[in-house]
A = this chain, B = another copy of it.
Amino acid sequence: MKKVTVHAPGTVANLVCGFDILGLALNDPYDIMELTLLDEPKVIIHNRDEYGLPTEPELNVAGVVLLAVMEKIGGNTGFEVTIEKHIKPGSGIGSSAASAAGAVVAANHLLGNIFSTDELVQLAMNGEKLASGVKHADNIAPCILGGVSLIRSIHPIDIISIPSPNLHVTVVHPQIEVRTSDARQILRQQILLKDAIRQWGNIAGLVAGFLKNDTQLIGRSLEDVIIEPIRSILIPGFDEVKKNCKEAGALGGGISGSGPSIFMLSTEEETARQVATVMTDVYQRIGIDHHIHVTTINMKGVQIF
């Protein structure tokens, strides 16, 4: 029986001024998935973790992605998948994207690499649609490709890998619930042109900073005048965490995905660890349980073993 194990990394989407278009992959945490090819057209799901996610294929993120793969290839192929999640669902660091991207990359490997990267992204977006109601690729693309991904467009799909310096990433996940659908609903449908201009100055600066390896420019450009002021209200301690982390030397950061996790980028590992301490201080003081990851940008994406 053909079988493969993959590691699917967590990701930070909505990269500050890059709402809906920019994401990056993390070296920690990552999900582990084992996929086996079946010779009948069905999907069997096993969970090897404590999250109690649905095992009905139509209700499971990896399941709907594998069903989409089956629909695309036809015939009698099916999949059995065992999922060991380490990226906590609802944390805002791409848990559903990891399930979706891990499933599609593993399936593609077992099928002899029949899909292009764009097709992999398209297929995996079915999982995001199930998880959040919206097809988006700013977690999926960096999860599959690694590094920083720009999703210029999803109709048609246009994904650009953005080379970046090896930055350190500190992520804090305060244990509160922010539903992606709620986080979307509170956004205003109309925004001020002057704010949009400032935002596209920043996203242009951020992309230039990544490509020019200019960490100071990256830092200056990590500003979001549109989404963050609204969504940060849903995250207790956000303003204080951000302020204190920047004072501790972080280049900058913001809400990871639609929250509640907050991420910060640093040039040095020591700074990233100091940032973690600052985050812990805030959440201990306001009495909210939290997890912290001190990691780096994952340059490989989903890895096959």
Contact = CB atoms under 8 A, between A and B. Distances in A.
Interface of A: 17-22, 150-153, 158, 160, 162, 187-194, 196-208, 211-212, 217, 220-221, 226
B158 A220 contact: yes
A204 B204 contact: yes
A128 to B, nearest CB: 16
Given A190-B190, A192-B190, A212-B211, A21 B151 contact: no
Interface centre among A151, A187, A193, A204 (most CB of B within 10 A): A204
A204 B22 contact: yes
A202 B152 contact: yes
Nearest to A187: B193
Contact of A193 (B18, B189, B204): B189
A19 B195 CA distance: 12
Contact of A200 (B158, B160, B194, B199): B199
B199 A162 contact: no
A220 to B, nearest CB: 6
Nearest to A211: B211
Given A192-B190, A212-B211, A197 B153 contact: no
A19 B204 contact: no
Copies of this chain present in the complex amount to 2
A251 to B, nearest CB: 15
A20 B19 CA distance: 20
A270 B160 CA distance: 29
Contact of A152 (B21, B204, B211): B204
A199 B198 CA distance: 12
A170 to B, nearest CB: 24
A228 to B, nearest CB: 14
Contacts of A203: 200, 203-204
28 contacts: A18-B204, A19-B197, A19-B200, A21-B201, A21-B204, A150-B205, A151-B201, A152-B201, A152-B205, A152-B217, A152-B221, A153-B201, A158-B205, A160-B208, A160-B212, A190-B190, A190-B192, A191-B193, A193-B226, A196-B196, A196-B199, A203-B203, A203-B204, A204-B204, A204-B206, A207-B211, A211-B211, A211-B212
A20 B202 contact: no
A152 B196 contact: no
Nearest to A209: B160
Nearest to A156: B220
A200 B198 contact: no
